[in-house]
Amino acid sequence: MTPIYAQRHLLGTRSLTAPEITDLLDRADRYAAVNRSAEKKLAVLAGRTVVNLFYENSTRTRTSFELAAKRLGADVVNMQTGASSVAKGETLIDTAATLNAMHPDVLVVRHQDSGAVSLLSQKVNCAVVNAGDGKHEHPTQALLDALTIRRRKGRLAGLKVAICGDVLHSRVARSNIHLLAAMGAEVRLVAPRTLCIPGAESLGVSVFHDLRAGIADCDIVMMLRIQNERMSGGFIPSTREYFRFFGLDREKLAAAKPDALVMHPGPMNRGVEIDSDIADDVERSVIREQVEMGVAVRMAVLETLTLNLARGGDR
């Protein structure tokens, strides 16, 4: 079936429409069933080459892109930038041009600078997937979050979703804000004043600086990691103080709906933004399911982009 999303690259969720998102999630849903079956190998990407180029650390995103590509039958190359010519000073664009000369079909790129993946996408012939650029976007994370929510709640429209914690440094938050808004969910940001996006209200969200008030009556409580590696200077007094006010524990979670689901993109800092008691509570936490849906969503994205390449899609 021809994908509704017809562009060559997937760089963010900002420009995604509801029908495009729904089509990607429907495809991912079918792959989630494949992933739970014994025979997981398909030939959708047979003969295709996927290169993972990660300039930042990653566990979930890199392994799930690799598994997704392999399950679809592609050849996969993982570039470790620490062990490549990047460590010898090669620029991002030179590395991209070098890889491009080997004719990959899809380049999956994570980079510490916001906008770097978009820049790179203009210099190559293959499809490019943004696997996280600085604090800008992480579209496949927002898609896997949406799939997890849709499977549990049956819909996205009309749900109240609180995105809580270090929103300022979070590409996960930004991609989720755009996607959830496109799907008709009500998004709230809950963060200390020092860790909120300035002027966030212009993104169509409501802003809270108190965790209990922010998650009150919410269907989804999405916790974010304190991203120390993106901070220069002190944004919080101490992790103990942060947990007291913004860490999710059972007592604070009681403010949300009784059937509210708890999410976290990982990696978690237990005892900082989330209590282990909640993170490991299978009745409330869907954190493991998010990881599972990550593979399915990445299969759907790789399938969509290679189908678009085949018909010369480049809007």
| Element housing 172 (H / E) | helix 171-182
Between the CA of residue 57 and those of 207, 208, 267, what are the distances in Å? 30, 31, 11
If one asks whether residue 132 binds ligand NCD (CB under 6 A), the answer comes out as: yes
Q: Kindly state whether residue 60 participates in binding ligand NCD, applying the rule CB under 6 A.
A: yes
**Residue at shortest CB range from ligand NCD:** 225
Residue 230 within binding range of ligand NCD, rule CB under 6 A: no
- Which DSSP string do the residues of 103-161 spell out, in sequence order? --SEEEEEESSTTHHHHHHTT-SSEEEEEEETTTB-HHHHHHHHHHHHHHHS--TT-EE
- Report cis status (omega within 30 of 0) of the bond before 267: yes
Q: Which of 27, 111, 138, 174 is the binder for ligand NCD (CB under 6 A)? A: 138
Residue number with CB closer to ligand NCD (145 or 219): 145
For ligand NCD, the closer CB: 149 or 255: 149
Candidate list 194, 203, 266, 271; residue touching ligand NCD; CB under 6 A: 266
Shortest Cβ 172–ligand NCD spacing (Å): 5
171 binds ligand NCD (CB under 6 A): yes
* 135: contact with ligand NCD by CB under 6 A: no
| Order of strands across the sheet that contains 75-80 | 75-80, 49-54, 106-111, 127-133
Q: Is the dihedral of CA 247, 249, 252, 254 positive or negative?
A: positive
Q: How far apart are CB 61 and ligand NCD at their closest, in Å?
A: 4
Q: What whole-number distance in Å separates Cα of residue 22 and Cα of residue 28?
A: 10
Among 9, 136, 188, 225, binds ligand NCD (CB under 6 A): 225
Q: Report residue 247 as tokens.
A: 């860490």
- CA-closest candidate to residue 108, choices 61, 69, 52, 49: 52
The answer to the question of residue 270 lying near ligand NCD (CB under 6 A) is no
Site for ligand NCD in 65-104 (CB under 6 A): none
Q: Is 227 in the site for ligand NCD (CB under 6 A)?
A: yes
**Nearest CB to ligand NCD, comparing residues 61 and 304:** 61
**SS3 at position 221:** strand
Beta carbon of residue 160, minimum distance to ligand NCD (angstroms, whole number): 22
Residue selected from 265, 292, 293, 300 as contacting ligand NCD according to rule CB under 6 A? 265
Candidate list 13, 121, 141, 176; residue touching ligand NCD; CB under 6 A: 141
* 259 Cβ neighbours under 8 A, 6+ residues apart: 219
- For residue 197, the 8-state DSSP code is P
The contact set with ligand NCD (CB under 6 A) reads 60-61, 132, 138, 141, 171-172, 225, 227, 265-266
